[in-house]
Amino acid sequence: MNGGFILRQFFDVSLPITEEMVIHPGKPGPSIKRYSSVSRDKVNESILTMGSHTGTHVESRLHLRNGRESAADLPLDHFYGKCRVFDLTLVESEIHRQDLEEFEIGPEEIVLLKTRNSALGYVKFLENYIYLRIDAAEYLVNAGVKTLGFDYLSIKKPEGDDEVRELLINNTTLFLGLNLAGIPEGEYTFIGLPLRIDTDGAPARVILVKE
């Protein structure tokens, strides 16, 4: 509190969308093409083409099964609320249950996992990114986590552990592609708003607020 005002810090932990951004191998990169210009048409307007799982994005059950809920159906209360950032930067390759137990996670929490993925950054796709194993995913689901954020474009082992992704998508609202570099462990207010698109995933802007 300062002179009757609450001092807040705002952190944008979402990735900027550019044609040069890192994408998951095999997925389409963004294309941003200007079709109208101020010099010719008095306004600048562009066509944006991108995959639904580009950059910072939310997953939906439709991603894994036809006829399931889309990104537009996700619960609104999963997009906002108090959250905790857990520092797992000492984990060398795989996140297991024992790496999470010290945090005493409770039901209906919003949890963000910060790993060395954030420190390595999104300069090129990491072949050796940190990921979750099934025991860690089961622990988070059994604890009742409602929203989970992770600092890479995938949360499961490369070319394997599909059950990790399925368990988390079916039981939490999963945000991927967060950039938590420079974000200290602790409590924040989470604001994560995906586009309202009736599809299998949606790009999102994610903000953390520290009071």
Q: How far apart are CA 18 and CA 31, in angstroms?
A: 8
Q: How far apart are CA 163 and CA 201, in angstroms?
A: 18
Going by pLDDT thresholds of 50, 70 and 90, the confidence category of residue 7 is confident
- pLDDT tens digits for 58-112? 999 999 889 899 999 999 999 999 999 999 999 999 999 999 999 999 999 999 9
Q: Which CATH architecture has domain 9-16+52-210?
A: 3-Layer(bba) Sandwich (3.50)
Biggest alpha carbon distance in the chain? 61
62-93 burial string, b = 16+ CB within 10 Å, else e?
Answer: bbeeeeebbbeebeeebbebebbbbebbebee
| Rounded mean pLDDT, 176-195 | 97
Q: What's the mean per-residue pLDDT of the chain?
A: 95
Going by pLDDT thresholds of 50, 70 and 90, the confidence category of residue 2 is low
- Nearest CA-CA partner of 192 in 184, 202, 182, 181: 202
Residue 166 DSSP one-character state: H
pLDDT exceeds 70 at position 1: no
- Predicted confidence at residue 124, as pLDDT, reads 94
Domain chopping of the chain, boundaries: 9-16+52-210
Going by pLDDT thresholds of 50, 70 and 90, the confidence category of residue 6 is confident
